[in-house]
Chain A
Amino acid sequence: MADDHGDTAGSMAAGKDVAQHSATAHDAGTAVVATDEVPNPGFPPYRPRVTDLDPKVDQQQERRVSALFFVSIIGSVLAVAAYIAFPIEPGNMESVRNNTLYLGLGITLGLLGIGIGAVHWSKSLMEGHDLVEQRHGTRGSEETRAKAIEIFTLGDKESGFGRRTLLRNTLIGALVVSPLPAIVLFRDLAPAEDPVKLLKHTFWEPGMRLTRDPSGTPIKASDLTLGSAFQVIPEGINDSEHRIEEKAKAAVLLVRLKPEDLEISEGRENWSYDGIVAYSKICTHVGCPVALYEQQTHHLLCPCHQSQFDIKREAAVIFGPAKRPLPQLPIAVDSEGYLIAQSDFTEPIGPSFWERKL
């Protein structure tokens, strides 16, 4: 199937192929079928390699290839040696580093030696003439196709698939319906509750203290100086059953501004305390924690998609893909001076979802 084309016969055959090709039956579409094509000149003469001409170089290359294989053996042995010689001492990062490095370098040598050696062998020592293989149209021969059609026709006739339409149609119907149970089966991937209800509430409850993340110690209003930023979680969340899920909704950023800097809208007059405001940390875009607070500009930046919120203007969006302001947590101070939540958030926190307004 493959012939050496070093001789002139091969070149002539290649030239003829072109002529044959232009006579194929397929529609060429808008392609310009040239009538005056430049003829294929056929294969250029073979350019012998140094190894073909000089036996000495041939031997030299052979030695080189085997040297590469030998290097590979050394590398693999070194890798084993490194495994033993550079053990990991628990807690010593230097030892982990050395183990990784020397083991890796040994294996690298073992692999590259084989690889480069084999390629070098094929390039310089193996027979270097290009060979030619003829292509045949991908479609089966007319005879084969006729046979295939015959088999299908026979199958149809013997089974009556085309004739017994009732049988056929009910079978198709049955096949279509049969995967339905699988769809139902996947319902219990999640618990029975309605997700929409869950998304609309967080861990915050009226009177619940604001506490430091992660220690859970309560915060007094007097703890906040101007420019302070506290990462806040609700009291008791660390002991709750679904700690992480609850934290993913309840995380809050607490900052103190000069009271006169805050632009407070109607209905939110008593949501802050002496310039102290609390906002949900969960971005209203896709839910990254927005915690990059600039204490002079009072801008909040989301590090994931660069939405920016202005704390002075009730966390209104001033840049980026988010649409809605961060929800504000209404806060107050209890009798001991600790900051507490007046209620849960008054709207769902975090990214938008279809049923958000329902």
Chain B
Amino acid sequence: MASSAVRASRRSRPVGRRHPLATVALLLVGLVGTGGAYALFTSSATAETSASAEALVEEGGKLFAANCATCHGLNLEGSTQGPTLIGVGAAATDFQVGTGRMPLAATGPQAEKKPVQFTDEQVQALAVFVASQGPGPAIPADMYLTGEGYDVSNGAELFRINCAMCHNVAGAGGALTEGKFAPSLDGVSAKHAYEAMLTGPQNMPVFNDTNLSPEEKADIITYLKYLDETPSVGGFTLGSLGPVSEGLFIWIFGLGAIVAITVWLTAKSN
């Protein structure tokens, strides 16, 4: 975290002059921050949920205007820079912002995972705001995300049929066309995995609830959790890349070690 902050400040320094909008953004962040803190402090146990939800929408709206509207439009209508967000729902927002893919840092073949720019509360506020502007898939219920009590073997089979072709059977990721790739699933949280299936971020197909029911998604998440938590039975996995890494290993380290031994073996002793 600290190092990334340092890097960010270094990068901004050569600009010399602050972007005119920077002050506005700073002001907004400050306002939202104090407002949020104020809201947190003042909310009593008896506060009505609807009131806090409204506050969230409002906060989300401000964050959206400051961070997202340039590309996605003030009314989520989209522009040449970014698609419309009407109807994408809270799940998509939570996934894109919560994994750091949005806001986009640079144009490339695809948006990549990077350090998240917002706090959990801010991500939530953005998600609530986007959802309020048009109905769409909601953030999944916790019951599907525990990775317990679901059918792990069904999850494994569904994973092989629907996911493995891009993400690799071990979830190690794989190549797509023109420099795009399916990312590794190592360390992806259950919530984000679920949201990705539900909303189909970027080039990933949508696996809506009629394709994979919430229970089936939970099965898949259970399997991913199993993969994550079970130690590799055979030893180091060499990146779970299959025969290519195995072949490289035997040539470089296996045969390398053996050749080193043959040199010792045939060298004249002192």
Instruction: List residues of chain A with CB under 8 Å of any chain B CB.
Output: 47, 49-51, 93-94, 96-97, 100-101, 119, 123-124, 128, 212-214, 219-220, 222-231, 255, 289, 291-297, 299, 301, 303, 308, 319
A295/B269 contact (C-beta < 8 A), A213-B161, A225-B208, A255-B205 known: no
Q: Which residues of B (144-187) have their CB < 8 Å from a CB of A?
A: 157-158, 161-162, 165-166, 174, 176-178, 180, 182
Q: Which residues of A contact B174 (CB under 8 A)?
A: 292, 303
A223/B269 contact (C-beta < 8 A), A93-B233, A97-B232, A299-B177 known: no
| Cα(A90)–Cα(B151), bound, Å | 19
Chain B 231-247, CB-CB to A under 8 Å as 1, else 0, gives 11111000000000000
**Minimal beta-carbon separation of B154 from chain A (angstroms):** 9
Kindly report which residue of chain B lies nearest to residue A233, judged by CB atoms.
Answer: B161
Q: Check if A214 sits within 8 Å of B161, measured CB to CB.
A: yes
Besides A226-B206, A289-B165, 7 other CB < 8 A contacts? A49-B270, A93-B233, A97-B234, A128-B269, A229-B205, A297-B203, A303-B174
Q: Which residues of B contact A224 (CB under 8 A)?
A: 210-211
Q: Check if B205 sits within 8 Å of A214, measured CB to CB.
A: no
| Cα(A93)–Cα(B231), bound, Å | 7
On chain B, the number of residues with a Cβ less than 8 Å from chain A's Cβ atoms is 33
Q: Check if A50 sits within 8 Å of B270, measured CB to CB.
A: yes
Q: Check if A124 sits within 8 Å of B269, measured CB to CB.
A: yes
Chain B 187-225, CB-CB to A under 8 Å as 1, else 0, gives 000000000000010111111101100000000000000
**Minimal beta-carbon separation of A318 from chain B (angstroms):** 9
Q: Check if B206 sits within 8 Å of A225, measured CB to CB.
A: yes
| Cα(A295)–Cα(B177), bound, Å | 12
B230 at the interface (CB under 8 A from A): yes
Q: Check if A292 sits within 8 Å of B269, measured CB to CB.
A: no
Of all A-B residue pairs in the complex, the 10 with the closest CB atoms, nearest first, are A229-B205, A223-B210, A294-B203, A123-B269, A227-B206, A291-B165, A295-B205, A93-B230, A96-B233, A228-B206
Q: Check if A301 sits within 8 Å of B176, measured CB to CB.
A: yes
| Cα(A220)–Cα(B209), bound, Å | 13
B265 at the interface (CB under 8 A from A): yes
Q: Check if A119 sits within 8 Å of B177, measured CB to CB.
A: no
Kindly report which residue of chain B lies nearest to residue A254, judged by CB atoms.
Answer: B211
Q: Which residues of B contact A293 (CB under 8 A)?
A: 205
Q: List 13 A-B contacts (CB under 8 A).
A: A49-B270, A50-B270, A96-B233, A100-B234, A101-B235, A123-B269, A219-B210, A228-B200, A228-B206, A228-B207, A293-B205, A295-B205, A297-B203
| Cα(A197)–Cα(B75), bound, Å | 59
| Cα(A291)–Cα(B182), bound, Å | 13
A303/B165 contact (C-beta < 8 A), A49-B270, A123-B269 known: yes
Q: Which residues of A contact B235 (CB under 8 A)?
A: 97, 100-101
| Cα(A28)–Cα(B198), bound, Å | 77
Q: Which residues of A contact B208 (CB under 8 A)?
A: 223, 225, 228
